[in-house]
Amino acid sequence: MTQQWEPVIGLEIHAELNTKSKLFSVAPNRFGDEPNTNITEVCTGQPGALPVLNKEAVRKAVQFGCAINANVAKFSKFDRKSYFYPDSPRNFQITQYEQPIVLGGTIIAEVEGVEKSFAVNRVHLEDDAGMLKHFTNFAGVDYNRAGVPLIEIVSEPCLHNAKEAVAYAMAVRAILQYLDASDCNMEEGSLRFDANISIRPKGETGLRNKIEIKNMNSFSNLQLAIEAEIKRQAQEYTQKSHLPPNEVIKQATFRWDPESKQPVLMRTKEYAEDYRYFPEPDLVPIVLTDAYINQIRATLPELPLQRLRRYISQLSLAPDAAFFLTSDKLLADYFEEGLKTCSNARNLCNWIIVEFAGRLKDTGKTILTCGITPHQIAKLVNLIDKGTITGRIAKSIADDMLADPTLDCEQIIAGNPDYQPVHDSAEIAQLVDQVLASNPQSIADFKAGRDRAFAFLVGQVMKLSRGKASPAVVNDLLKERLKAKGKDEG
Amino acid sequence: MHTLSAIDLRNKFIQGDLTAVEITNHFLARIDRYNQDLGAFLAVFHERALQKAKNLDEKRRKGEKLGKLAAIPIALKDNIHVAGEISTCGSQFLLNYRAPFDATVTRLIEAEDGIIIGKTNMDEFAMGSSTENSSIQKTFNPWNLKCSPGGSSGGSAAAVAARLCPLALGSDTGGSIRQPASLCGIVGFKPTYGRVSRYGLVAYGSSLDQIGPLATSTADAALLVEVIGQHCDKDSTSLPMPGETYPLQERVAGMRFGVPRQFIEGLAADQQQIFNNSLETLKSLGGTIVDVDLSSCKYAIAVYYILATAEASTNLARFDGIRYGKRSARAKTLDEVYELSKEEGFGPEVKRRILLGTFVLSAGYQDAYYKKAQKVRTLLLQEFKKAFEKCHLVVSPAAVNGAFEIGAIKDPLQMYLEDIYTIPSNLVGIPAISVPSAFTKDNKPVGLQFMGPQKQEAHIFPTAHAFELANGSSKKIPPLYQENLA
């Protein structure tokens, strides 16, 4: 009998806040600039420099706390976390260890169509490190990122498989986006995941030794890493079942290498760092009033879950489509922009997340980056709804729009005679007769009451018209002719 | 000219009796004449100071408004930044470190037309009580060149005592302004924690450090505190209150002075006598003496050497050879850059304190040391609060004795005891001043310390001023430096 394993996973998510300046200095918080340009004496840890807390960062952390229904601490403070590394300008990080700004909270995520709640342990503020850059015979440090504000969102060990972890992480990203708290740009590292993973036999209650995998910067890497680690641990326990569990898996920390897509061992527990936390004497505690917290709570923007529910109840979107749209704020905003032009929400949604998204697959672009405005897609949907074009023509137009995103869809139609739908009954009648003549079996089937035969015949006419015949006219004519045939024989 | 107080010099400049260039040249000449033997200055800003003086003379000629410190030459301890100038902190590590920005105090002094004349020697990173821990040079006591000026602001204290400049800034983490002031026969003041911005002061113990003046009179010290005691947005621990002025009416009558008998008892007989004489002076001026209980002060040194070193071990972690300062030429790997740069850049006392601070914060020891020390600090705070219910100011000696000979104290623990009277006010964050009160039989100056409740500078200065006038010790100039250089 094979052993049933239950994975236990906790996630630590680092999100860079999109404040104008850094957490403890007036230096700009901006990605992608020339190395060491967005720095002040604070960012490079000059002697005599002192940190001053950015209130905007506090506000965003509190917003996040309110958004996940957590307890926002009225008193929190910063601590020094000591470790030596060249990207750490003071060789200590300023973080919140003993008294974080947010405690508890709940993330609601959809896992394979089922809504689940996951518990957050804490959320704290801290500053990011710089970045090491390796050249052929030397290494340099870029301190542009040093001091960028982060919130670290620490879950309870309440996730039980990679899919749950990804769903949780996506829900966190969505909340951060809806609050405009973070750019959540994973390529630029503004959202990074650390996972703590252990497994235990189903039914066992205690936690076994955990493995930490740090610094994954995409949902797919997160899923990949967790699945691989669960598998590895299960194999280890199975192969070494004669040993006590804590000798099979020893606590260790790995770093995720995005190039090789493999975890790389950083340290084992014997060499665990002693961070020597103690209260940061250069900063005063963060003291918040109820009025401040309540004001933030009362003015929260619409959150992903609220928007999801609104799309289902008010726009009649299918739940999975609504979830897909709302789990990316930018995509949902794109959709809403389209709604200003087109009222057929279901079709608009379908064209955005199925038709266009499908065409963009494997191009490296997304609907948000391809250059087509939501207004154009909405117009296209309107043209279909009005019967100006057929669905088939619309699909061809979509291809043309992607080929040149600057074109207007009405111009595309005007410029291509093939896209003018045929409404002329006489012309279509010829095609109908042609189809009926060559498909006697279908006529027989139809008479025998098989509805699918009718659809087949419609399809044949459309095919013959190369998709240009107005479906309404085809329908009418076919019905008329079939009825007539029935009478002839009757 | 050197016998004039800073305020007198300013007034004579404003009235047109002296030009700023005359004043500056006079003190530059004194520095050039005496510093070689005294070792007070590490850097002298001849050009910078004279340029500023010329600007001030021009400003006066045009009838523009002149600042509170107009034409007063002021020296800064070498852990206070002047943009573009080197801040060594007395360390080999920072011999080449040019400050990229002005300390807030530097900015405030220049805005009030003070003339920054140079940087003074100090114990390396302000760790020490004799200035012997400077890795650059020795500083001697102007009253006795065999002796230490005290420390860590020994350079500033010696410079002011020898009248190489009328006013200087030091920093005080456990007594580093007041103890050298006491040993050099001048006034030294540590403000309320947060009164003076620490921005641009190279940190030693961040929760204890304060910048303050060393002066030949309480009035001059108070003037400098008026200028530098401003709220500063760049220091989060800066008090959220406007600057103050300190009118110096002589006021002692009606004042109650608390004496913590417990920590006077260990004092040598002659020092006890000096202290008792000072109490008599206060009584003769109309004050009353009451006993106060500050028995937790017996733990102050232990608490201080845990908290200050804990903070220092992290404050000094940035000196790693990566971005600035010393980088060992022998280093071939990253770990060697760290290890060898620190090995070569730091002196033994700095290494000792970094190790001690690292130890008291480490896992398994933090509760027994760091956290317990924080609790005792809270206890001390409560004791002082209670004491100030019974008295306006607490009085004590500023130092255990007069100046000691250089090299005489070899045991670091014995050196730590030098600060037994000054450390409590740093731990509690209260203002404290050392005022010259007597000379020992061998003509070494001794100071009296007044400590006040938080933010009550306005109580301390008038009392210290009155005591100073009644006592007269501060008027004396060390014999070696009385000559008026023409």
Does B2 reach chain A within 8 Å, measured CB to CB?
Answer: no
Query: In the listed set A295, A321, A355, which residue is the last one of a domain according to the structure?
Result: A295
What is the arithmetic mean of pLDDT over B19-42? 98
* Band of residue A390 on the pLDDT scale cut at 50, 70, 90: confident
Residue A155: φ, ψ to 5°: -85, 160
Ranges A438-442, B67-71, B98-102, B139-143: which has the least confidence: A438-442
Answer yes or no: is pLDDT of A52 > 60: yes
In the predicted structure, residue B286 carries a pLDDT above the cut 90: yes
Residue B159 pLDDT exceeds 90 = yes
Whether B236 sits inside 8 A of A284 (CB atoms) is: yes
- Mean predicted confidence (pLDDT) in A347-356: 94
| Strand partners of residue A71 | A103
Average pLDDT (B367-377) is 96
B199 and A49: CB-CB below 8 Å? yes
Q: What residue of B is the nearest CA neighbor of A47?
A: B202
CB B136 within 8 A of CB B122: no
Q: What are the DSSP calls for B373-401, one per residue? A: HHHHHHHHHHHHHHHHHH-SEEEEESSSS
> Are B101 and A41 in contact (CB < 8 Å)?
yes
Please identify which residue in the block is written with the tokens 């021009």: B58
Decide if B187 contacts B449 (C-beta within 8 A): no
H/E run at residue B169: strand B167-172
Q: What is the pLDDT of residue A1?
A: 46
Is there a contact between B314 and A283 if contact means CB atoms under 8 Å apart? no
The answer to whether A106 and A99 have CB atoms below 8 angstroms apart is: no
With beta carbons under 8 A apart, name residues in chain A contacting B324.
46
Quote the pTM value. Answer: 0.91
Residues 6+ apart with CB under 8 A from A26: A40
Last residue of a domain, one of A400, A419, A438: A419
A44 with B358: Cβ contact below 8 A: no
Residues of A in contact with B366 (CB under 8 A): 276, 278
How many CB atoms sit inside 10 A of residue B86's CB?
A: 17
In this prediction, residues B86-103 reach a mean pLDDT of: 98
Q: How far is A404 from chain B (nearest CA, A)?
A: 50
Q: Between the CA atoms of B417, B418, B424 and B425, what dihedral angle is there, to the nearest 10 degrees?
A: -170
Q: Which residues contact A359 (CB under 8 A, 6 or more apart)?
A: A398, A399, A402
Question: Quick check: A179 and A60 in contact, CB under 8 A?
Answer: yes
Residue range(s) defining the domain that contains residue A329: 302-419
B237 touching A (Cβ < 8 Å) = yes
Token duo for residue B251: 């006021």
Question: B137 at the A interface (CB within 8 A)?
Answer: no
User: Nearest residue on chain B to A281, judged by CA atoms?
Assistant: B207
Residue B311 has pLDDT above 90, yes or no: yes
Q: Are residues A376 and A434 in the same domain?
A: no
A66 and A101 in a single domain? The answer is yes
Question: Once rounded to an integer, what is the mean pLDDT over residues B417-436?
Answer: 96
A-B interface: how many C-beta pairs under 8 angstroms? 93
Q: Do A50 and B100 touch (CB under 8 A)?
A: no
Q: How far is B314 from chain A (nearest CA, A)?
A: 7
Other C-beta atoms closer than 10 Å to the C-beta of A301 total 12
Three-state SS at A332? helix
In the block, which residue shows the tokens 């933010």? B455
CA distances from B82 to B76, B155, B205 (A): 9, 17, 21
Question: What is the C-alpha end-to-end distance of chain A, expressed in Å?
Answer: 69
**Which residues on neighbouring strands pair with residue A131, listed in sequence order?**
A142
A89 vs chain B: nearest CA distance in angstroms?
7
CA distances to A476, B14, B15 from B59, in Å: 99, 11, 13
Q: A91, B320: Cβ pair inside 8 Å?
A: yes
Dump strand ranges (E) for B164-287.
167-172, 187-190, 210-215, 256-259
- Which residue on chain A is closest to B100 by alpha carbon? A41
Alpha helices in B6-45 (DSSP H): 6-15, 20-38
Per-residue model confidence (pLDDT) at position A434:
87
Contact B335, B342 (CB under 8 A): no
Strands, E assignment, B251-392: 256-259, 288-291
Look at B236 and A50 and tell me if their CB atoms are within 8 Å. Answer: yes
Whether A327 and A259 map to the same domain: the answer is no
CB contact under 8 A, A46 and B101: yes
Cα separations in angstroms, B322 against A139, A448, B96: 11, 87, 14
Residue B387's closest CA among B424, B420, B418? B424
Co-location of A90 and A57 in the same domain: yes
Contact A172, A163 (CB under 8 A): no
Say if residues B227 and B112 touch (Cβ distance below 8 Å).
Answer: yes
Question: Chain B residues with CB inside 8 Å of A271's CB?
Answer: none
Chain B positions in Cβ-Cβ contact with residue A45 (cut-off 8 Å): 318, 323
Provide the 10 A C-beta neighbour count for residue A220.
10
The phi and psi torsions of B275 (rounded to 5 degrees) equal: -65, -45
User: What is the count of structural domains for chain B?
Assistant: 1
Of residues A490 and A80, the one with the higher pLDDT is A80
Q: Which of B283, B240, B273, B215 is nearest to B466 (CA)?
A: B283
Secondary structure of residue A201 in the 3-state scheme: strand
- B209 in a domain, yes or no? yes
One domain for residues A362 and A382: yes
A52 contacts B233? CB cut-off 8 A: yes
In this complex, do B236 and A53 lie within 8 Å of one another by their Cβ atoms? yes
Do A268 and A351 have their domain in common? no
Contact A48 B200 (CB under 8 A): yes
> The domain that contains B445 carries what CATH number?
3.90.1300.10
Whether residue A46 sits in one domain with residue A75: yes
CA A301 to chain CA centroid, nearest Å: 18
Between CA A224 and CA A294 the distance in angstroms is 40
Distance from the Cα of B473 to chain A's closest Cα (Å) equals 36
Determine, yes or no, domain membership for B288. Answer: no
Q: Verify whether the Cβ–Cβ distance B366 to A284 is below 8 Å.
A: no
Give me Rg for the CA atoms of chain A: 30
**Peptide bond connecting B152 to the previous residue in cis, omega within 30 degrees of 0:** yes
Residue B316 belongs to some domain of the structure: no
Tell me the shortest Cα–Cα distance from B444 to chain A, in angstroms.
Answer: 35
CA distance B471 to B278: 8
Amino acid identity at A247: E
The answer to whether the CB atoms of B236 and A283 lie below 8 A apart is yes
**What letter does residue A278 receive in the DSSP assignment?**
E
d(CA B420, CA B428): 14
Say yes or no: A15 and A163 in one domain. yes
What's the CA gap between B212 and A107, in Å, rounded? Answer: 52
Asked if residue B320 belongs to a domain, the reply is no
Residue B26 is predicted with a pLDDT of: 97
Q: pLDDT-based confidence at B298, cuts 50/70/90? A: very high
Query: Does residue B36 sit within a domain?
Result: yes
Query: Which residue bears the tokens 């004039």?
Result: B4
The H or E element containing residue B485 is: none
B188: enclosing H helix or E strand: strand B187-190
Which residues on A lie below 8 Å from B362 (Cβ)? 274, 276
CA proximity to B143, closest of B429, B448, B371, B482: B482
Residue B305 has pLDDT above 80, yes or no: yes
Q: Which of B89, B94, B362 sits opposite A274 (nearest CB)?
A: B362
Task: Report the alpha-carbon distance of residue B12 to residue B9 in Å, rounded.
Answer: 5
- Within 181-210 of B, beta carbons closer than 8 Å to A belong to 198-203, 205-207
What is the rounded average pLDDT for all residues in chain A?
A: 92
Report the distance separating Cα A319 and Cα B74, nearest Å.
74
Which residue of B79, B98, B234 is the best one to mutate when testing the A interface, meaning the one whose CB has the most A CBs within 10 A?
B234
Q: Point out the residues of B that are catalytic.
A: 77, 152, 176
Residues A14-29 pLDDT 10s: 999 999 999 999 999 9
Whether A306 shows a pLDDT value over 80: the answer reads yes
Question: How high is the pLDDT of residue A490?
Answer: 45
Q: Is A452 helix (H, G, I), strand (E, B) or coil?
A: helix
Average pLDDT over residues B455-465: 95
Query: Are A40 and A117 in the same domain?
Result: yes
Check which CATH number belongs to the domain holding A444 and give it.
Answer: 1.10.10.410
How far does the CA of residue B335 sit from the closest CA of chain A (Å)?
A: 10
What's the CA gap between B303 and A445, in Å, rounded? Answer: 98
Would the CB atoms of A276 and B362 count as touching at under 8 Å?
yes
For B269-281, how does the pLDDT look when each residue is reduced to its tens digit (9 = 90+)?
999 999 999 999 9
**Which of chain B's residues have a Cβ under 8 Å away from the Cβ of A90?**
314, 317-318
B89 to chain A: closest CA residue: A47
Residues A228 and A268 both lie in one domain: yes
List strand residue ranges (DSSP E) for A318-380, in order: none
- Contact residues, chain B, for A283 at CB < 8 Å: 236-237
Alpha-carbon gap, residue A268 to B214, rounded angstroms: 53
Contact A82 B362 (CB under 8 A): no
Q: Which residue in B has a C-alpha nearest to residue A140's C-alpha?
A: B322
Residue that terminates a domain, selected from A295, A316, A336: A295
> For the packed helices A451-464 and A440-447, what is the interaxial angle rounded to 10 degrees?
150
**Contact A51/B236, CB-based, under 8 Å?**
yes
Question: Rounded distance, CA A175 to CA A327, Å?
Answer: 9
Looking at the structure, do residues A279 and A343 belong to the same domain, yes or no? Answer: no
Q: Please give, rounded to a whole number of angstroms, the shortest distance from the CA of B327 to a CA of chain A.
A: 13
Q: Give the number of residues written for chain A.
A: 490
Place of tokens 């914060």: B361
Place of tokens 């922009």: A337
Task: Tell me the nearest-neighbour CA distance from A259 into chain B, angstroms.
Answer: 24
**Which domain covers residue B111, as residue numbers?**
6-252+431-481
Query: What pLDDT digit, counting tens, does each position of B194-211 carry?
Result: 999 999 999 999 999 999
B89 at the A interface (CB within 8 A)?
Answer: yes
Collect all residues of chain B within an 8 Å Cβ-Cβ radius of residue A27: none
Q: Looking at residue A489, what is its pLDDT?
A: 55
Nearest CA in chain A to B81: A48
Give pLDDT, residue B176: 98
* A121-169 per-position pLDDT tens digit: 999 999 999 999 999 988 999 999 999 999 999 999 999 999 999 999 9
Closest CA relative to residue B187, chosen from B216, B163, B161, B156? B216
Q: Which of A391, A468, A490, A481 is nearest to A439 (CA)?
A: A481
Closest CB from B97, B236, B361 relative to A52: B236
Beta carbons within 8 Å of A21's beta carbon, 6+ residues apart: A27, A28, A29, A54, A56
Domain count, chain A: 3
Confirm if A125 and A71 have CB atoms less than 8 A apart: no
> Is the pLDDT assigned to residue A423 strictly greater than 60?
yes
* Closest B-chain CA to A25: B234
Given an 8 Å threshold on Cβ–Cβ distance, is B81 in contact with A50?
A: no
Q: What is the pLDDT of residues A204-255, one digit of tens each?
A: 999 999 999 998 989 999 999 999 999 999 999 999 999 999 999 999 999 8
Residue A389 has pLDDT above 70, yes or no: yes
> Is residue A399 scored above 50 in pLDDT?
yes
Q: Which residue of A has its CA nearest to B322?
A: A86
CA dihedral B338, B339, B340, B344 (to 10 degrees): 100
Q: Does residue A110 sit in the same domain as residue A177? A: yes
Q: How many CA atoms lie within 13 A of B482 on its CB side?
A: 7
Q: What is the SS3 assignment for B228?
A: helix
Determine the angle formed by the axes of helices B154-161 and B20-38, rounding to 10 degrees. 120
Is the previous residue joined to B130 through a cis bond, with omega within 30 degrees of 0? no
Of all residues in chain A, the percent with pLDDT exceeding 70 is 98
* B103, B237, B324 ranked by CB distance to A282: nearest: B237
| Angstrom distances, CA of residue B104 to CA of A304, B231, B233 | 47, 10, 10
Residue bearing the bigger pLDDT, A396 or B149: B149
Mutate to test the interface with B, among A50, A94, A131 (most CBs of B within 10 A): A50
Region B325-343: mean pLDDT is 96
Average pLDDT, chain B: 96
Distance CA(B22)–CA(A97), nearest Å, equals 57
Q: Give yes or no for B306 touching A (CB within 8 A).
A: no
Q: Which residues of A touch B91 (CB under 8 A)?
A: none
pLDDT at A290 over 60: yes
In a domain, B280, yes or no: no
DSSP 3-state of B118: strand
Q: Is B234 on the interface with A (CB under 8 A)?
A: yes
Pair type for strands B167-172 and B73-77: parallel
